[in-house]
Amino acid sequence: MAILSTKVASALKLTMQTGIDEDGNDKFITKTMGNVKVDATDEDVFAVGKLISDMKTFPLFGLDRQDQYSLTSN
């Protein structure tokens, strides 16, 4: 049985370092932005994420793309 995978949604996730806690551990905040075009290239998503992070107060720690797929059988 063949399975068809179709990308149905995509989101951009920015993780920023907000400081250090009282134990000396890094503190982070994550912002997720949905409604990314599913056919956007990884390069374009990365570029937009970098531009957004440049406008934020805290330094960027990680940039992720989260894709959601629908699976159907033929």
pLDDT at 1 over 90: no
Q: Would 46 be classed as within a structural domain?
A: yes
Asked if residue 64 belongs to a domain, the reply is yes
**How much is the average pLDDT of 25-51?**
96
User: In this structure, is residue 65 part of a structural domain?
Assistant: yes
Give the per-residue pLDDT at 57: 92
Residue at 61 is within a domain: yes
Across 1-74, the runs of DSSP E, i.e. the strands, are 3-20, 26-33, 60-73
Domain count, the chain: 1
Q: Which of 5, 3, 14 is nearest to 48 (CA)?
A: 14
Question: Is residue 27 domain-resident?
Answer: yes
Instruction: Domain of residue 51: give its range.
Output: 16-69
Kindly tell me if the per-residue pLDDT of 74 is higher than 90.
Answer: no
31 pLDDT exceeds 90?
Answer: yes
Residue 10: inside a domain, yes or no?
no
